[in-house]
Chain A
């Protein structure tokens, strides 16, 4: 489903210093459905990898195929079609501050042109699933960190994407909320959605017992079917 082929990403420095190599010729495949954790220290290239998959940035070299389509060859005006097939969860939630939780989640379905009835039914169902049924009309600023992240997951999940990219979704949460979020992601995977989880949380990785790709200084140093956190 996702094929990462010889991807390198080098950021040139404006001040004339040495360019930064974020990713250095990495390749791997992700099948459908799969729960893959991408681990590594800060600066290992995890976020860059997710940004490249989402075509938020372009690679210096190599290509990423999503169902056989090179995502970086898609015209900017058509990128929305690719992104509607992917759900994204960010470390800092990135909820719309002036929309209620209901509207935040409903936005993705509105983008896809769903009918109001369908939106109302699905959004309430998904908010029930993530435990936010009583926060429907609240604004993001009125929610705790864990609640915000659950709302972000609901938004990433609402349109039943084929893959969810989660970039450090537990980075700002306490251990209780963090394990809640991971349990939720696991449940989504069991329903048949591919999850790509970028994290440096050792406990979470070790408790999952699923595929782990370890990045270090932009290179894949380990790719195990039932991996553990080894850094």
Chain B
């Protein structure tokens, strides 16, 4: 048993190394297949980050009348935070609003000067509300407009911002749907590509497999070396893809950060290194062996 096992591994390795051009071609295709799987894996956290960045930018501000005291606003805040649809609620006092304005426009002397001319702090205290979904803003706003706090409120910017909010949420929903659809399509393409490549490689050995059967080899003695070859091809392809992924993540990291600072390709690579390695090995070795097993079946019928 052990002797046969050793022989199967040795034969598989010899077949792989002696037929290096075919082995290289198979590895090349497998690298593409594993790269597709890697792309799907890496783009999942990236699209999630992008979506959350966009969604974080969406909120509704409630401005309170000048005479409303911060204590009253904090009371409103504690009431509003009890609404289940509210994800997050932040308070900006009149002073903070002024500071923010000065900080933002410190390089614009005209605006700063006009502020001095006004002579007092013209900004209103506000609450920033974030809901879980775009459709929930309307409920929250209605509660404020008709509830016990309506007399404290100066204005709510929901109606001006509604088209933008809805667009952002429908865009992110579309991105999610497209991601799943593309994932399924690319996954199917990857599996078919791997299977057909290995099928062609085994087809080349079809006559050889028939001879093995005719000289008395058992099915497992014939299958074994092809499975070993599948494992070797999958393993090498997975390691090559890991190197490519490392290079690509490292190379694109600074360029992507320049456009979207929240997305760190290299950080994603490092944070997910082990799961990435596992996915690449599983895709390579799994597809290599399963495809070999299926493709070899028809030649073992003799």
Contact = CB atoms under 8 A, between A and B. Distances in A.
A98 B15 contact: yes
A87 to B, nearest CB: 8
B88 interface: no
A224 to B, nearest CB: 30
Interface in A30-55: 54
Contacts of A108: 215-216
B216 A80 contact: yes
Contacts of B14: 98
A83 B215 contact: yes
B211 A111 contact: no
Chain B interface size, as a band, is 20 to 34
A105 to B, nearest CB: 10
A94 B211 contact: yes
Interface in B1-42: 3-4, 7, 14-15, 18-19
B217 interface: yes
B207 interface: yes
Contacts of B301: 76
Contacts of B216: 80-84, 86, 108, 111-112, 159
Nearest to A81: B216
Give the most central of A56, A82, A88, A107: most B CB within 10 Å: A107
A54 B214 CA distance: 8
B215 A107 contact: yes
Interface residues of A, number: 27
A196 to B, nearest CB: 15
A76 B222 CA distance: 14
Give the most central of B15, B215, B221, B302: most A CB within 10 Å: B215
Nearest to B18: A98
Interface string A103-134: 00001101111011000000000000000000
A86 B215 CA distance: 8
A111 B19 contact: no
B201 to A, nearest CB: 13
Interface string A62-94: 000000000000001101111110101000001
A80 B208 contact: no
A229 interface: no
B221 A111 contact: yes
A80 B213 CA distance: 7
Contact of A56 (B4, B15, B207, B214): B214
A155 B214 contact: no
A88 B214 contact: yes
Contacts of A88: 214-215
Nearest to B221: A111
B208 A111 contact: no
Contact of B19 (A84, A98, A107): A98
Nearest to B217: A111
Contacts of B18: 98
B268 to A, nearest CB: 43
A96 B207 CA distance: 9
A56 B217 CA distance: 14
A112 B216 CA distance: 8
Nearest to A159: B216
A56 B207 CA distance: 13
Contact of B215 (A76, A97, A155): A155
Nearest to B8: A110
A80 B19 contact: no
Contacts of A80: 213, 216-219, 221
Interface of B: 3-4, 7, 14-15, 18-19, 207-208, 211-219, 221, 301-302
7 contacts: A77-B219, A80-B216, A96-B211, A98-B14, A107-B217, A108-B216, A110-B221
Given A56-B302, A86-B216, 7 more contacts: A80-B221, A83-B216, A98-B15, A98-B208, A107-B217, A110-B4, A159-B216
